[in-house]
Amino acid sequence: MQTKVSEITVNNIDITSDFWNRYRKLVVKEVLPYQWQVMNDQADIDISDDPQGNGSTKNSHAIANLKIAAGLMKGHHYGFPFQDTDVYKWLEAAAYSLKYNPDEDLKKITDGLIDLISEAQEDDGYLSTEFQIDYPDRKFKRLKQSHELYTMGHYIEAGVVYYQITGNEKALNIAKKMANCIDSNFGLENGKIPGYDGHPEIELALSRLYETTREEKYLKLAYYFLNQRGKDKNFFDNQIKEDGASSDRDLIDGMRDFPLSYYQASKPIEDQKTADGHAVRVVYLCTGMAYVARLTGDQQLLEACHRFWKGIVHRRMYITGNIGSTTTGEAFTYDYDLPNDTMYGETCASVGLSFFARQMLAIEAKGEYGDILEKELFNGALAGMALDGKHFFMSIH
């Protein structure tokens, strides 16, 4: 009997390829230890002159941010609003490595990290260290820029995987508390926020949480975020007016100037005919759409998935698999506009397109989805990391 792609999980598959196992060994031996040092500000690096460094200096401060939020250190938040996600993606990678390379020393570190995240999480489930540390009165008030749901979505994904592989209940409970916090604050009911995050991600995270817990409210919440996106064109601007219209209140410089299409919020998803805006946001949104369409059978969402897939793969993707034709906004432009000189081709976008392909393949077993998944893994994901496992590339030209 043929196994459906949707039935393939981390716990029922083995990777035997020598090619991929070489990289998996590299992750265990070099990538995870090195990145742990970086996040703890123990690595001697300096990317201040790197054009892809976005103005960062040599410090990550990601673990320190969590310790400050947990009350274990004094200080201010450092980095981007989404700095926490570095920790969460590392945790997810570490969890996968524990499945194929059990390591008690690493597990002590990851279990300790789960404890730290639990201490940093507020009683109501909220966790986004910049707001807890420096802006406690601005939670969920500037969603166009804040990345709060995006950030918590990345933990939810990591927590689900860590629970699946290690059985750590605390990891899953943190994820559930986050989702419950979001559910309590967002929706069309009186007193809730009738909006969504400026950066899609929470939709696919909630879908993963639903698949593990089978709690319907998480799937309904994911559907709400997809269905509500683009319905109120004034939502983001109204929030900015209420939170403070001065540019010195902005969380990320310049983000208020991008059009709603940059955020896939210029119109409802069912009315969006082309993949427009920030490429990573687009494919994360598409992954959430495909995930929810698969779990609910929603035909309107499925039609949108097919429309976006064809538009991206047939008209807005480079032959290498790169997406994002311009450095301005790291974005799509228009059909068949695929220049070499202004191309951004972000690694994150290739990874996101592989997520989208994986979900489409789970919906229907068509070779084109597997072909694009493979192309993105080789040309996008792998190309973003040097062979030493200690140098990484955001843009691939």
Spatial distance between the Cα atoms of 131 and 136, rounded to a whole number of angstroms: 5
Q: Name the phi and psi angles at 183, rounded to 5.
A: -65, -35
The CATH number that applies at residue 379 is 1.50.10.20
Q: How far does CA 106 lie from the centroid of its chain?
A: 24
25 domain-assigned: no
Spatial distance between the Cα atoms of 2 and 8, rounded to a whole number of angstroms: 11
> How confident is residue 10, by pLDDT bands cut at 50, 70 and 90?
confident
What is the per-residue pLDDT across 346-387, written as a single tens digit (0 to 9) for each?
999 999 999 999 999 999 999 999 999 999 999 999 999 999
Residues 126 and 225 in one domain: yes
What is the per-residue pLDDT across 292-315, written as a single tens digit (0 to 9) for each?
999 999 999 999 999 999 999 999
Residues 71 and 159 in one domain: yes
pLDDT of residue 338: 97
Residues 185 and 218 in one domain: yes
Can you tell me which residue has the tokens 């040309």? 379
Q: Could you tell me which residue, 200 or 44, shows the higher pLDDT? A: 200
Residues 324 and 205 in one domain: no
What is the per-residue pLDDT across 148-177, written as a single tens digit (0 to 9) for each?
999 999 999 999 999 999 999 999 999 999
36 domain-assigned: no
330 domain-assigned: yes
Residues 232 and 93 in one domain: yes
What is the per-residue pLDDT across 253-302, written as a single tens digit (0 to 9) for each?
989 889 999 999 999 999 999 999 999 999 999 999 999 999 999 999 99
Residues 174 and 235 in one domain: yes
Residues 301 and 330 in one domain: yes
Contact in structure between 240 and 256 (CB atoms under 8 Å): yes
pLDDT of residue 376: 98
Looking at the DSSP bridge assignments, the partners of residue 193 are 186
> Which SS3 state, helix, strand or coil, does residue 253 take?
coil
pLDDT of residue 1: 42
pLDDT at 336 over 80: yes
348 domain-assigned: yes
Residues 86 and 234 in one domain: yes
72: left (phi over 0), alpha (psi -120 to 50) or beta: alpha
57 domain-assigned: no
Question: The domain containing residue 143 runs over which residues?
Answer: 66-245
Q: Is the pTM of this model over 0.95?
A: yes
Residues 269 and 237 in one domain: no
Looking at the DSSP bridge assignments, the partners of residue 326 are 331
How many domains, in total, are found in the chain? 2
Residues 241 and 270 in one domain: no
pLDDT at 52 over 70: no
364 domain-assigned: yes
Residue type (1 letter), 301: L
Average pLDDT value over all residues in the chain: 95
Spatial distance between the Cα atoms of 61 and 78, rounded to a whole number of angstroms: 6
Spatial distance between the Cα atoms of 110 and 382, rounded to a whole number of angstroms: 25
Q: Which H helix or E strand runs over 315? A: helix 299-315
What is the per-residue pLDDT across 217-254, written as a single tens digit (0 to 9) for each?
999 999 999 999 999 999 999 999 999 999 999 999 98
> Which SS3 state, helix, strand or coil, does residue 193 take?
strand
pLDDT of residue 197: 99
Considering only 5-14, 319-328, 330-339, 381-390, which range has the smallest mean pLDDT? 5-14
27 domain-assigned: no
pLDDT of residue 238: 98
Residues 101 and 143 in one domain: yes
pLDDT of residue 3: 58
What is the per-residue pLDDT across 114-143, written as a single tens digit (0 to 9) for each?
999 999 999 999 999 999 999 999 999 999
3-state secondary structure 328-390: CCCECCCCCCCCCCCCCCEHHHHHHHHHHHHHHHHHCCCHHHHHHHHHHHHHHHHHHECCCCC
259 domain-assigned: no
Last residue of a domain, one of 245, 278, 303: 245
pLDDT at 68 over 90: yes
pLDDT of residue 56: 58
Residues 236 and 96 in one domain: yes
Last residue of a domain, one of 245, 280, 308: 245
Spatial distance between the Cα atoms of 343 and 258, rounded to a whole number of angstroms: 18
